[in-house]
Chain A
Amino acid sequence: MTIDPITLSVIQSGLQQVCDEMDLSFSRAAFSPVIAEANDRSDGIYSAEDGSLIAQGAGGLPVFVGTMQYSTRTLIEMIADGRVAAPQPGDIYIVNDPYLGGTHLMDVRFAMPFYRNGEIFCWLSNTGHWPDTGGAVPGGFSASATSVEQEGLRLPPVRLFKQGQLDTEIYSIICSNIRVSEQRIGDVKAQAAALLVGEARLNRILDRYGDDVVSEAIAELRERAAEQMRANVRLIPDGIYRSTAYVDSDGVVNEPLEIRLAITAKDGELTFDFEGSSKPCMGPMNSVLATTHSSVYLAMRHIFPDVPISAGAFEPLTIVRPEGTFLDAQYPRPVSGCAAEVSQRIAEAVFAALVEALPDRVTAAPAGSSGNFALGGHDPARNRGFVMYQISGGGYGGNSDTDGLTNGCSTIGISKAPPVEIMEQQFPVLYHRYALREGSGGAGKQRGGFGLDYEIELLRGQATASFVMDHGRFGPQGALGGKDGKPNLVTVWQDGKAMVPEHLSKAQDIPLKPGDRVRVGTPGGGGYGNPADRDPALVAEDVRLGRYSAEEARESFGFTGSGTTQEHEVDKAPVLAQAGS
């Protein structure tokens, strides 16, 4: 090694800073609340040779960990064999094709070659979730799509900016195929401007330290990140760790989809094998390969958050290509559920497999659903159409330190849910409750966090409700003797009559009239450890605060107190018997 370790650290933080500034710039200038508020975007630096990840913004949406290196690699390959026009300085490619290293169509990627002395030194790329890219339903989450064409406009890599200028011809094609297109120019400019911010910052680093030194540092950092991940992975004793996780259904065929995972730990490396998982499905719960990879990476980063995100950190993680399963979807399988839901089931499978080997680091399963609920219709008071999206959190898994968090964000997201007051300002709805879902946390020594319980009434006009959620059939898994959290529950009242959708957590275009209501209970987190070992004072506290009924506390924890006195009687025998069964 010729580069000194101090300069190495300084360059590492400089590259990280470039990405963080791109993230910041993108969010601040973006139009869509999805990007501006929910930070559903990510920015990074990718190698010129094969698109491998050099650095990525710390505030990027977790599900994008890793995906852009696949899209950048594909782009480089397509340029090399002439399928895509070669770049000029100032060009920016746009692409959203899921099968070319992507997620779903709404995640639109920009990629810009970064030049030094006339040569491409690396690529800068970012992804932003656009609110709409056309297709059968507003927002793109069609629960009953059976091919990608129904999900929206699919763009191969094309140069949207040519030598710094927006190609208005391409842009007009895009605008003619998506909803609310007049606002997209704000996101397009923000997304491109973020890359230019990155370009300027990266140039300054190269000017200061020299291109050769930085290149050398990048190579060295990659090796060291791999070493750091190996050191972490060595905490897992060699062996094979198995788990299973289920997606409720694909939205079209009402049968569960199975994710089977076997993780082999050996000499500081992990191999992830999904053999035996379900076949590709009819509905939109297929995952493309890049998303499957990214889901594994984000799960590992949740477990080892200190390892910087880079291709090096992924080196000790081998993912066997899950050919022939729904985790390696091919054209034209529909894929809108992959980033929001399937990815979280994959992460859950990784957590469930490793929790026994890493009991201090891994939690019981979190709610793991983005809770997408779209209500589209016409508001006669304003004489215009509307599309409302409600996303929701759920309980996190109990863990070695604490009970699970209540109403936590999806595993793959970092976005906030919109306030009820804002929703009611914008849409003809009234919320009758927005509450902690009592009894939903899975029992355990450290119990799961609680889900959310909300109920919405349509006030006027007419509308249709669509859901893409999950964990309706089975609750999030408990760990180390803990119980599962309560499953997701959707109830729709039409003319005062209650019904539960056939696919439980997924449905499309359920018609609603004024006065009709939708109530959603989101999943509670899985419990951690044997419920009989829970401190009775904590159970009493939960009963006193109404988080569990006395009945639930007795059944789940063997608790016989009332929650109002200081004396707690616990009958451990029945719970122990259950735990052992």
Chain B
Amino acid sequence: MSLSASTAPVSSISTNEGVETSNVAGIDVGGTFTDLVLYDARSKTVRLAKTPTTLDNQAHGVLNALEQAETDLGTLDLIVHGTTTTTNAVLERTLCKTGLITTAGFRDVLELGRRTRPKPYGMKGSFRPVIPRDLRLEVPERLYADGAVHTALDEEALRSALHQLKDMGCEALVIHFLHSYANPVHELRAGEIAAEIWPNGNITLGHSLLSESREFERGVTAAINASVQPLLRRYVERLADQLAGKGYRHDVLVMNGNGGMVSARRVAIEAAKTVMSGPASGVMAAAYTGRRAGIPNLLTYDMGGTSTDVALIRNAEPAVSNEIEIEYAMPIHVPMVDVRTVGAGGGSIARMTEAGLLQVGPESAGSTPGPICYGRGGKEPTISDANLLLGRMNPEKLNSVSSTVSLADIEAIFLDKLGRALGLTAHEAAAAVLRIANTRMADAVRMVSVSLGEDPRDYALFAFGGAGPLHATAIARELGVPRVLVPSRPGITNALGCVVADLRHDFVRTVNKPLAELDIDMVHALFDEQATEGKGLISKEKVEIEELREIYSVDMQFIGQTHLLRVPLDNPRPTLEDLQSLFEKAYFHRFHVELPEIKASLVNVNCSVIGRRSEIDLSLLIDPDGRKETLEEAKTGQRQVWFDGPMETPVYWRDHLPISAEIHGPAIVEQMDTTIVIDPGDKAVQDADGNIIIELGASA
């Protein structure tokens, strides 16, 4: 049995007045490339661009991409932008100087964490708090856990602390008091006073992003928000100015980690929500593509050169988590699409262990020196090199990348470092590398799926990223997943996510009551309040909306338990009996355990309000005029590709495939941004949107 995510379309579809958004640019800034999808519904055309990311100022790359696509900014209705500004700032700790004012006795909470270590085994490792100790000041104030005042806020001490932080050169400020989720009175008062003294608007109150208990997680979330806020503000302002200077007349929307988007004018207020927005928009594109293709249950598999991300989509809704930790002891507890980085990518290094076993990863050649085939001095065999050696990737590409490395060089290294020890030829060793890499990655995908309570066999694999489609059939086979979906533009999925993204606002309220003591009318009132607030926010955006809907859910647990289970609701008027029985069903589905002996309790009331924009015609992503009439015409040649051994294999050009092409493996489909491997016995069909759907055969 599978519980479907619930959606409740409202009866009256509200369209924001006077706004038409049919000419839309989606721009995603990734670590290496800035990608653009320009979609014009009027002329039914799509233009694409890929330019190098300009790390010092991402706006340059954005403008370059617009230029490359010959965009007429004057007629563009909407720009939706995914940026790594905040993600990079957090991961590289290039944060703004930020001060913290907190409850007396608790300034070290951000440094102490929850008493952990980076890895279960190994007593080494270090941790750097978001805000250093000298910029963390204390003021007398204290609330009890129920929100009652224990010690009043010392306003004089507060003013003095504010001046001190200002004088120390802090650009942003966090006010984080214990139990502010229960009663924000002191934080609000402190915020008022701070507004008089602080020179700019960069003030984050602890309870404002996350009104939940747990002082470390709430404090880090607020501290990250504050310390990326000025960066993001400056970036989006500069970008908006530059775009306006070139004739763009509308609002820029920025992607959030929850897969929704928000106006550039307001995005900096909750800047922390933009962290990890790139991977989130890729998953949104996958959900959109899958829904249109009639395959709404997907495991997304995004494999690039340096990392691999996995996410789960149930009934076209990506799984969302409020408890993402972006690196060791760096929690950002706001709702985000639950994207898990499960390991390295094409650069993972294969080596022999002391036990004489072949191991792939966790070491990676990264992007420098990178795999041998990059020609940047890499000398260790990697997954990418194995793909090349086995003909899965086009060996001719090697010449375009580098003239310093030949296939013979790669073969020699595989033989030398792996083959001899294993008693295998270089090609057999490369095949072994792929087999082990695929097993490991399949295990990682399975763990993600199982941890979300789902059997991977009930899902299809959505493969994207430069290397995803190379490995997808092998991993799907390993997982028992019957189908693989390769979208038409796997290399620009994140930018497509910007084009198809919804307007979205998520709300969480903590109730924490046993069902027996729960006032169900209060729950109904909370849902109404959340929905009203969300609709209000969406109506403020100058974006055309086709459909407005709300997703309701509750987080529940059995009394005495600490883990929460999300229970989707199909309407905002559940009865107590509904909650009990839906929870029991969800619990059994997830854990295969029934516990009639124990009472349930309701912890959070959640509502997401989603404004869906008009439908995008995905078939335009590959120019319909470029398609050939027959499969034969789309064939560019054939080469030896290693499956269980070498096989003569036809090679096709993706953009030339006839719209309902049917391909029987073995086959290779190449396109600008990726290579798709179809194993012997598999059957691939291209659907009307241009997705290739591979049904796995029994063999290989």
Contact = CB atoms under 8 A, between A and B. Distances in A.
A364 B26 CA distance: 53
B449 to A, nearest CB: 11
A350 B46 CA distance: 65
B361 to A, nearest CB: 11
B359 A9 contact: yes
A424 B182 CA distance: 12
A444 interface: no
B179 A421 contact: yes
Interface stretch (A103-111, A227-235, A572-580): A227-235
Interface string A402-431: 110111110100111101111011000011
A433 B106 contact: yes
B356 interface: yes
Contacts of B357: 5, 8-9, 12, 224
Contacts, number: 208
A36 B354 contact: no
B443 A17 contact: yes
Interface stretch (B80-88, B125-133, B367-375): B125-133
B115 A6 contact: no
B598 A182 contact: yes
Contact of A224 (B217, B355, B592): B355
B114 A406 contact: no
Nearest to A16: B443
Given A8-B357, A183-B598, A436 B111 contact: yes
B107 A425 contact: no
A180 B354 CA distance: 49
Given A6-B432, A17-B446, A227 B355 contact: yes
Contact of A31 (B124, B181, B446, B558): B558
A424 B150 CA distance: 13
Contact of A28 (B111, B179, B359, B563): B563
Contact of A405 (B126, B142, B590, B592): B126
A4 B659 CA distance: 44
Interface stretch (A244-252, A318-326, A543-551): A543-551
B115 A185 contact: no
B105 interface: yes
B157 interface: no
A315 B560 CA distance: 42
Interface string B532-561: 000000000000000000000000001111
Given A232-B354, A425-B213, A62 B120 contact: yes
B407 interface: no
Contact of B591 (A9, A193, A408, A409): A193
A397 B450 CA distance: 37
Contact of B114 (A302, A306, A399, A417): A417
Contacts of A21: 446-447, 450
Contacts of B156: none
B397 interface: no
B145 interface: yes
A112 to B, nearest CB: 16
Contacts of A327: none
Interface in B331-382: 353-359
Interface centre among B115, B116, B357, B359 (most CB of A within 10 A): B115
B112 A424 contact: no
A239 interface: no
Contact of A185 (B144, B435, B597): B597
Interface in A541-565: 544-547
13 contacts: A10-B435, A28-B563, A29-B590, A32-B560, A186-B598, A193-B591, A227-B355, A228-B353, A366-B123, A421-B214, A422-B214, A435-B105, A436-B108
Nearest to B597: A185
Contacts of B106: 420, 433-435
Interface string A427-450: 000111111100000000000000
A431 B112 CA distance: 15
A31 B115 contact: no
A59 interface: yes
B408 interface: no
B119 A393 contact: no
A59 to B, nearest CB: 7
A357 B697 CA distance: 55
B134 interface: yes
Interface in B583-614: 590-593, 595, 597-598
Given A10-B439, A393-B115, A434-B109, A31 B213 contact: no
Nearest to A20: B447
Q: Which of B124, B443, B450 has the most CB of A within 10 A?
A: B124
B123 A397 contact: yes
Contacts of B598: 31, 182-183, 185-186
Contacts of A436: 108, 111-112, 133
A185 B446 CA distance: 28
Contact of A425 (B145, B150, B440): B145
B680 interface: no
Given A363-B124, A391-B115, A434-B106, 13 more contacts: A5-B356, A5-B357, A5-B358, A10-B435, A31-B561, A185-B598, A298-B121, A301-B121, A302-B122, A306-B353, A417-B115, A452-B112, A547-B133
B443 A182 contact: no
A114 B179 CA distance: 49
Contacts of A392: 115
A305 B105 CA distance: 37
Contacts of A265: none
Going nearest first, the 10 A-B pairs with the smallest beta carbon separation are A393-B115, A433-B105, A224-B355, A228-B355, A416-B114, A231-B354, A305-B121, A424-B145, A29-B591, A545-B133
Nearest to B593: A189
Nearest to B216: A419
B117 interface: yes
Most A CB contacts (10 A, CB to CB) among B122, B127, B422 go to B122
A26 B432 CA distance: 33
Contacts of A424: 144-145, 179
A190 B111 CA distance: 34
Interface string A12-38: 111011001100110011111100110
Nearest to A131: B560
B591 A363 contact: no
A155 interface: no
A225 B593 contact: no
B514 interface: no
A6 B354 contact: no
Nearest to B123: A363
Nearest to A309: B121
Contacts of A119: none
Nearest to A360: B124
A453 B359 CA distance: 44
A58 interface: yes
Nearest to A29: B591
A403 B590 CA distance: 42
B113 interface: yes
B566 to A, nearest CB: 13
